[in-house]
């Protein structure tokens, strides 16, 4: 048998189409296309509509996950699924309904609810994926990064750049849940990821429960930088951004607006971005993180951006519209905004469902990737 006859069926399949801007179907064209298939060649004229559309056409779908449902399922997993080598973490990923069942919130972003039972330790490991933790409720868990115990309480944001050793410890008498965000899908598709197991157990010293971590004592002073560490870091060396600081910054913006001074993103819409104190850039090289506060009755201008994002409602209620999808949201709910789909949010909060009386939202996105590649674009549609 010749080598040609033994060659498997080509994964390339080309069909002649009797359509505008396409060559006229003929037996000769069919022979040409079979030759392309045999040699694994694809003509641009049959694919240009998919490869080069007039604007981004995300494979992801706008979708909403209800926090109450996630929390119930995570609690059931807490009683059935151990934490230890093998699974490593009791983390349950959001799977976008349009991404073929993969554990991806968007084509570039991973989001998961992680759940730790009282007295449990999640073992130490490290990976090249950039990561963070955000706490929508609860306290009593410490994440241990580079042997530095860091407290996690409601509203805290905890970034962690890739390739840092980390573990978790629940020193409380109750379970605790939080959300994890990582760039797992991006590193998977670019085939750039590494992972390494660490120690099976953390030390007694790392089970300590300090009010402030070493990273906060060194870096947690606004506008002040240790002269001993003037080199730029690609990931933030500050490993906890406490809720009290975030809340104060948002409150001050809205109070300045009420006094007639600039500071808010748009009327009734305060926003802050978590930044790296060594260079004032994003806390993580591939992930942007922000916090938004929208005054009751305010509706944000519809915005669409290149790149995707995930939001979690921290407090309050409101109405979210992403493209053709619209939902009423409340504390803890998570939703996805795919690339180039317009987003607008209306706050319907009050002091009965929100400590601030406004709709508070945590957001993370893949924007730094597209900015570095000079591919980022944003458009306000109102």
- Asked whether the predicted pLDDT for residue 3 surpasses 90, the reply is no
Q: What is the mean pLDDT of residues 214-240?
A: 95
CB neighbour list of residue 132: distance below 8 Å, 6 or more residues apart: 157, 158, 159, 160, 180, 181, 182, 283, 284, 287, 289, 364
CB neighbour list of residue 125: distance below 8 Å, 6 or more residues apart: 88, 165, 166, 167, 195, 196, 197, 198
Q: What is the mean pLDDT of residues 213-228?
A: 95
Give the dihedral of Cα atoms 80, 81, 83, 85; nearest 10 deg. 140
- Asked whether the predicted pLDDT for residue 129 surpasses 50, the reply is yes
For the ranges 102-106, 179-183, 207-211, 301-305, the lowest mean pLDDT is seen at 207-211
Give the confidence band of 86 by pLDDT, cuts at 50, 70, 90. low
> What's this model's pTM, rounded to 2 decimal places?
0.94
SS3 284: coil
Question: To 5 degrees, how large is the angle CA 305–CA 309–CA 307?
Answer: 40
Neighbour count for residue 257 (Cβ, 10 Å) = 18
Q: What is the mean pLDDT of residues 50-66?
A: 94
Give the confidence band of 132 by pLDDT, cuts at 50, 70, 90. very high
pLDDT of residue 357: 96
Q: What is the mean pLDDT of residues 288-314?
A: 98
Give the CA count within 13 Å in the CB-facing half-sphere of 221.
8
pLDDT of residue 214: 96
323: left (phi over 0), alpha (psi -120 to 50) or beta: left
- What is the percent of the chain with per-residue pLDDT over 70, rounded to a whole number? 97
CB neighbour list of residue 280: distance below 8 Å, 6 or more residues apart: none
- Asked whether the predicted pLDDT for residue 60 surpasses 80, the reply is yes
Do 149 and 216 contact (CB within 8 A), yes or no?
Answer: no
Q: What is the mean pLDDT of residues 355-377?
A: 97
**How far from chain centre, in Å, is Cα 157?**
13
pLDDT of residue 84: 79
pLDDT of residue 85: 72
The Cα–Cα gap between 266 and 188 comes to: 37
pLDDT of residue 4: 53
Going by C-alpha positions, the residue among 295, 271, 301 that lies closest to residue 347 is 295
pLDDT of residue 1: 47
- Asked whether the predicted pLDDT for residue 101 surpasses 70, the reply is yes
CB neighbour list of residue 16: distance below 8 Å, 6 or more residues apart: 22, 23, 25, 26, 29, 30, 33
Bridge partners, residue 113, by sequence = 92, 179
Give the confidence band of 79 by pLDDT, cuts at 50, 70, 90. very high
Give the confidence band of 6 by pLDDT, cuts at 50, 70, 90. low
In whole numbers, what is the pLDDT of the chain averaged over residues?
94
The Cα–Cα gap between 188 and 314 comes to: 29
pLDDT of residue 381: 77
Q: What is the mean pLDDT of residues 306-315?
A: 98
């Amino acid at each position: 048998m010749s080598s040609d006859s033994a060659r498997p069926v080509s994964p390339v399949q080309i069909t002649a189409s009797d359509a505008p801007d396409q060559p006229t179907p003929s037996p000769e064209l069919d022979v040409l296309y079979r030759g392309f298939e045999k040699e694994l060649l694809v003509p641009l004229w049959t694919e240009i509509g998919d490869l080069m559309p007039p604007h981004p056409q995300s494979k992801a779908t706008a979708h909403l996950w209800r926090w109450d449902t996630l929390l119930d399922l995570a609690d059931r997993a807490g009683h059935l699924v151990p934490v230890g080598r093998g699974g490593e973490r009791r983390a349950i990923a959001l799977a976008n309904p349009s991404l073929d069942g993969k554990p991806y919130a968007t084509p570039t972003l991973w989001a998961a609810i992680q759940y730790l039972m009282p007295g449990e330790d999640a073992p130490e490991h490290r990976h090249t994926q950039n990561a963070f933790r955000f706490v929508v409720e609860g306290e009593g868990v410490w994440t241990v990064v580079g042997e530095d115990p860091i407290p996690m309480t409601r509203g805290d944001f905890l970034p962690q750049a890739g390739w840092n050793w980390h573990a978790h410890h629940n020193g409380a008498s109750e379970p605790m849940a939080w959300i994890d965000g990582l760039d797992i899908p991006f590193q998977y598709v670019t085939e750039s990821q590494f992972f390494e197991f660490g120690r099976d157990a953390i030390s007694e010293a790392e089970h300590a429960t300090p009010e402030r971590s070493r990273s906060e004592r060194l870096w947690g002073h606004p506008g002040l930088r240790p002269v001993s560490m003037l080199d730029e870091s690609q990931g933030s060396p500050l490993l906890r951004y406490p809720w009290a600081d975030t809340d104060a910054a948002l409150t001050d913006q809205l109070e300045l607006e009420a006094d007639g001074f600039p500071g808010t993103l748009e009327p009734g819409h305060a926003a802050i971005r978590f930044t790296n104190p060594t260079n004032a850039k994003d806390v993580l090289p591939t992930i942007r993180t922000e916090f938004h506060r929208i005054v009751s009755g305010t509706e944000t201008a519809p915005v669409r951006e290149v790149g995707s994002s995930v939001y979690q409602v921290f407090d309050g209620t409101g109405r979210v519209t992403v493209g053709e999808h619209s939902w009423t949201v409340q504390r803890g709910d998570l939703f996805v905004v795919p690339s180039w789909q317009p987003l607008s949010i209306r706050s319907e909060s009050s002091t009965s469902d929100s400590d601030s009386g406004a709709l508070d939202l945590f957001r993370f996105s893949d924007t730094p990737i597209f900015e570095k590649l000079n591919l980022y674009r944003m458009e306000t549609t109102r």
